[in-house]
Amino acid sequence: MRIIRSVGQMQKTISKLKQQGKRIGFVPTMGYLHEGHLSLIRRCRKENDIVVISIFVNPTQFGPKEDFRQYPRDFQRDYRLAKREHVDIIFFPSRTAMYPPKYKTYIEVQGLGEILCGKFRPGHFRGVTTIVGKLLNIVMPTTLYLGQKDAQQAVIIQQMISDLHFPVKVRVRPIVRERDGLAMSSRNKYLSKTERQRATALYTALMAAKDMIRKGEKKTKRLRQRMRHILVSAKIKKIDYIEFVNARTLEPVSIIHGDVVIAIAAYVGKTRLIDNIIIRKR
């Protein structure tokens, strides 16, 4: 397994591999790897000749009051985990390699970046699309692997790829959860023991909505009420949103029809968590 820190070196290495006809699979991450990341890496390993992951905590996707500085980092641990999964290359650039002092260019997907999480984290998706666009130009993968955990991010990145003609296929993989249902996230590390217990309410709320839908409920207003009640009962009071959106377009729906994503963003203590499920058309 190689660690590459320079953009030029990465592009040169990939160009050579592509000349040899290798399929390049790519998993972008912010590191502090967990089973969610590893499931993407494993799928990528199965479907490609070369597996590249990137580890970069991207400053442009954090708001000024967000957790960029505290975000957990442990390269040695990530290195061990990646090696065990037979990753070929870790792209691990410095901040200045990605954003030199005179950096000026950003990618923005209009509309989609301003709803759901975008409403509460202005500029976040502009940072995400910018870094992913840059990484695609550096890693030049055949296939990009993303997690459904960040459902809005996956839709926005696919829109960018289509609009800007990036020659890459995209695979979106299911959410990996802890045994009690909590979606795996590097940010779970911030939770105290009691917060960790309360955090399961996000999944409980999603499952309650799923059950109501199975029993015939179609009105999102009623589903949202029930979900809110479950969160508040677990002392989760700061709820950014509980939304019901079309899985493809992210447009809000008031009645469940077609494929719908039910998405939650809420604070458990000071930690902002997101989770979602897809309700497929019967």
> Where does this chain bind ligand AMP (CB under 6 A)?
29-30, 36-37, 39-40, 146-147, 149-150, 173, 175-176, 183-186
Please identify, using beta-carbon distances, which residue of 10 and 183 lies nearer to ligand AMP. 183
Give the nearest distance from C-beta 147 to ligand AMP in angstroms: 2
Give the nearest distance from C-beta 101 to ligand AMP in angstroms: 25
Please identify, using beta-carbon distances, which residue of 8 and 63 lies nearer to ligand AMP. 63
Please identify, using beta-carbon distances, which residue of 173 and 198 lies nearer to ligand AMP. 173
Give the nearest distance from C-beta 57 to ligand AMP in angstroms: 9
Task: Choose the catalytic residue: 34, 37, 86, 229.
Answer: 37
Give the nearest distance from C-beta 36 to ligand AMP in angstroms: 2
**What's the rounded Cα separation, in Å, for the pair 132 and 61?**
11
Please identify, using beta-carbon distances, which residue of 50 and 156 lies nearer to ligand AMP. 156
Active site residue 37: yes
Catalytic annotation, residues: 37
